[in-house]
Chains A and B, each alone.
Chain A
């Protein structure tokens, strides 16, 4: 094996320029893939982070059927106190959960005494909400205090602008409760919230007890519970686990009481994230095609140029299998050369990108710093695929070489 390698490497060095060109093609391919994967990956994870940490939470639990009509914020689909207590009991026992926050979601009228418009509101416990969606305060653009007191309201930026509402202004929220009776309450504007793309991205926030007061709830009801996990990587496993635990809870009709959704089901951004993954896949396919074609090309040339040498070694008794290995090792070495160079170069370029602190915007969020990162696992998988492809690319030429008739090959000029 060592000797086969020696001969393979020497044969590669024999045509230095050609080897260098082909290896660079592989190298460039790897660099592009690594850059694409790391930059889009960074973009993706930042977006997911923004979604989950400033608004959605990692996953949410609703009363069965709520999500389907979430646009109407149906008060009649809230969990009753008793149901919520049951849920709380289960959630409190899950060690994976970092924090969770119950929310009352409702729609109402927002009035500045001059103008009136519609508003969607979340009634939350500010401390619990901030533990569940820790980036929420970062969306507050104008607030001095980054926490929400009773009697205060955070309103979405667009509304503040169009209604010409300033910090500290007094506004009135009017809402119709489940029984159809209308109630109003005065709030002090304590913060203006940057919008986030997606449902709920233009909602305002009030204290949950204020929400109960506006809606004249005697007992607390809960529209949704947002949950934050200690380890986001365990999202799927935990979603499944919780779903399993909650599906045991049935109502009097024997139907499940709760529904569990992770952020992917809650945000349209998930489709964009998937698109990014598909694009990365396409780029990887292109890399595979480039490696396949370029290495196959070189190996076909190599076999063609060395017909007489193949005839010679076959004549003096080299077995076909050895000849096959010789050429496969040559293609493999070429691939490995490109892979090693590609990984090193890709790593350096990504490091430079990160050092240059490039920024980008997403929706209304600007100045997000690009932090490109490739998982070592990704690098390994890409490298292994490329090496495998270089073996596959050499297979046909190598087989051809190993099957040559020595006398014909020796006659070749």
Chain B
């Protein structure tokens, strides 16, 4: 028993959110986009936030991704209290600990598939050439894009772009990958393939994945599903079926 308690205390969560709220100021009025949201995300889990449009998914993922700051509450990401990071610290925190996958893929059009994956290793972290090449080739292989490595983003399909984006997000060995509606611009078949890729990466690299979606069909792919409604966390579902209030 004592052992289990000790393990719980020293465990570093990927994310710990305690009563996190976010207000947007629109003119004089403050819009509450998130209201006292609390949760923990364990390392190497595959988590989804689900909810209709406007429920606060993007807002929450931006907070976890250190792209924005909560109005109230406490937020720890990868063991770091991210509330007090300044602009530059946030940027290097993101570069060293987080990976991002975007709805619109957001690959740099002037760089090839290979160079897009290489970008964070050159411009964000400084990884020597041999190691760089090894990592990129491994990831290209893992997402099945090795033969497309010299193509430019406008020469490949949406699903392929998102797989490149997954590789780019993982190349820095982040602790946590955040994906805001990663499949919203893909057809269902491709969406499932992309999620399969993400899960495969999680299994291979033990990286925590957090993604959001408004698509009920996709949600099933997640192992832990948080439901958001009007900025409030209204449910947690752990794969296996049990639902917690």
Partner of A10, one of B62, B96, B111: B111
Confirm or deny: B95 has a beta carbon within 8 angstroms of a beta carbon on chain A: yes
Q: For the complex formed, measure the closest distance between the CB of A100 and the CB atoms of chain B, giving whole angstroms.
A: 68
Q: For the complex formed, measure the closest distance between the CB of B185 and the CB atoms of chain A, giving whole angstroms.
A: 14
Partner of B67, one of A7, A318, A320, A407: A407
- Docked-complex contact B108 and A309, CB < 8 angstroms: yes
Q: With A3-B123, A322-B123, A407-B62 as given contacts, are A317 and B110 in contact (CB-CB < 8 Å)?
A: no
Interface positions of B from 13 to 65, Cβ below 8 Å from A: 62, 65
Give every chain A residue within 8 A of B220 (Cβ-Cβ). Answer: none
Give every chain B residue within 8 A of A4 (Cβ-Cβ). Answer: 123
- Docked-complex contact B108 and A317, CB < 8 angstroms: no
Confirm or deny: B92 has a beta carbon within 8 angstroms of a beta carbon on chain A: yes
Binding site for B on A (CB under 8 A): 3-4, 7, 10-11, 13-14, 308-309, 311-320, 322, 406-407, 410
Binding site for A on B (CB under 8 A): 62, 65, 67-68, 87-88, 91-96, 98-100, 102, 104, 106, 108-111, 119-120, 122-124, 168-169
Binding site secondary structure of chain B: helix
Q: For the complex formed, measure the closest distance between the CB of A18 and the CB atoms of chain B, giving whole angstroms.
A: 15
- Docked-complex contact A312 and B109, CB < 8 angstroms: no
Partner of B100, one of A7, A14, A308, A315: A315
- Docked-complex contact A318 and B95, CB < 8 angstroms: yes
Complex CA–CA separation, A103 to B202 (angstroms): 100
Complex CA–CA separation, A308 to B119 (angstroms): 16
Partner of B124, one of A11, A309, A317, A320: A317
3 smallest A-B Cβ distances: which pairs?
A: A317-B95, A10-B110, A312-B106
Give every chain A residue within 8 A of B95 (Cβ-Cβ). Answer: 316-319
Give every chain A residue within 8 A of B91 (Cβ-Cβ). Answer: 314, 317-320
Q: For the complex formed, measure the closest distance between the CB of A68 and the CB atoms of chain B, giving whole angstroms.
A: 69
Binding site secondary structure of chain A: helix
- Docked-complex contact B88 and A320, CB < 8 angstroms: yes
Give every chain B residue within 8 A of A3 (Cβ-Cβ). Answer: 122-123
Complex CA–CA separation, A138 to B93 (angstroms): 80
- Docked-complex contact A313 and B108, CB < 8 angstroms: yes
Q: For the complex formed, measure the closest distance between the CB of B100 and the CB atoms of chain A, giving whole angstroms.
A: 5
- A9's nearest neighbour on chain B, judged by CB, is B110
Complex CA–CA separation, A315 to B111 (angstroms): 17
Instruction: Supply 22 A–B pairs (Cβ within 8 Å), ascending by A.
Output: A10-B111, A13-B110, A14-B110, A313-B108, A313-B119, A313-B123, A314-B91, A315-B67, A316-B95, A316-B99, A316-B100, A316-B120, A316-B124, A317-B95, A317-B120, A318-B95, A318-B124, A320-B87, A322-B123, A407-B67, A410-B102, A410-B106
| Max chain A Cβ within 10 angstroms of own Cβ: one of B88, B96, B108 | B108
Q: For the complex formed, measure the closest distance between the CB of A273 and the CB atoms of chain B, giving whole angstroms.
A: 51
Give every chain A residue within 8 A of B120 (Cβ-Cβ). Answer: 316-317
Give every chain A residue within 8 A of B92 (Cβ-Cβ). Answer: 317, 319
Q: With A317-B94, A407-B62 as given contacts, are A312 and B88 in contact (CB-CB < 8 Å)?
A: no
Complex CA–CA separation, A336 to B106 (angstroms): 30
Give every chain B residue within 8 A of A312 (Cβ-Cβ). Answer: 102, 106, 108
- A8's nearest neighbour on chain B, judged by CB, is B110
- B99's nearest neighbour on chain A, judged by CB, is A316
